[in-house]
Amino acid sequence: MYDHLGANLKLLCSHYRSIAEVCRKLSINRAQFNKYLSGQSRPTAHNLKRICDFFGVEAYELGLPSEQFAQLIGLRRHDQERIAASDPLLELLQPLRDNASSLSRYCGYYFEYANCLSVPGQILLSLVHLREDRGSFVFERQERQEQSRADDPQAEDWVVRCRYLGAAFYLQDRLFLIDYESLTGNEMSQTILIPSFKSRIGRLNGLKTGVSSGDRRTPACTRVVWEYLGSAINRVNAYRQVMLYAPDDPRIDPEIRARLGASHIRDGLFEIE
């Protein structure tokens, strides 16, 4: 397949402003990528998968003769443009997708801490996975709320599991995340995070808006903290920690507890410090 890899990669890169832009979005060293283009080097299996996922092609397609590959990509782009032109939502969001490359450094897994909108007085810990998929940044958020009779002898046991799917955008030094509950389709939420300007991502502060899952479905807003876990984690162990916590639970870091309560009012606006 490598006989035609360089030429086919050049064709794919021609649909972007520059090779430097492609390298930034792929998080691949420019000098190394140039070796792929010239045929001096072959991508590792890991980098090949990243390249294929980014351009939306299969590995075997990159090995097709250049004329055949060009025809295939031309037909595929024509279909994509036709679909986008007929979908006003895709057309509306396209400028936001074009400016989302700054999100690359934020990809990975996070614990999200928030004051629970459905169970006031409790802290909800969720698991979030932010990733890049074919040039867009998408995320999945897993929630689990449960209560047993051990917590309240008068209450019945109950467990609620939620799976949110969403898209992330980066505009003027702020992260905007919009998602919906995919299991029931009855809720959307928006989160705005303040980015980290440090070399290593630790914790991100922000606000989340949504609705309570109670009968009244009251619109609500909460402070939120995202804690970076890494690009690869033990998902099973992480998910075991996804649940409701009492505010004074020793498993909640005091700094996170303080961040969830830190805010002030200025000119009538609720702000996060």
CATH number of the domain enclosing 161: 2.40.128
Looking at the structure of the chain, the number of domains it has is 2
Q: If pLDDT is split at 50, 70 and 90, which confidence band does 70 have?
A: confident
Q: What is the CATH number of the domain that holds 25?
A: 1.10.260.40
Same domain, 111 and 236: yes
Q: Picking from 8-12, 82-86, 193-197, 228-232, which range would have the lowest pLDDT averaged per residue?
A: 82-86
Cβ-in-10-Å burial (0-12, 13-18, 19+) of 160 comes to: middle
Same domain, 50 and 136: no
State residue 226's pLDDT score.
Answer: 95
Of 270, 223, 263, the closest CA to residue 247 belongs to 223
State residue 33's pLDDT score.
Answer: 92
- Highest mean pLDDT (candidates 3-17, 49-63, 235-249): 235-249
pTM equals 0.64
Q: If pLDDT is split at 50, 70 and 90, which confidence band does 147 have?
A: low
For the cut 80, the answer to whether the pLDDT of residue 62 exceeds it is yes
For the cut 50, the answer to whether the pLDDT of residue 268 exceeds it is no
224, 225, 228, 234 alpha-carbon torsion, rounded to 10°: -70
For the cut 90, the answer to whether the pLDDT of residue 76 exceeds it is no
Domain extent, residue 68, equals 5-86
User: In Å, how far from its chain's centre is CA 61?
Assistant: 28
Same domain, 66 and 192: no
Neighbours of 202 (CB within 10 A): 9
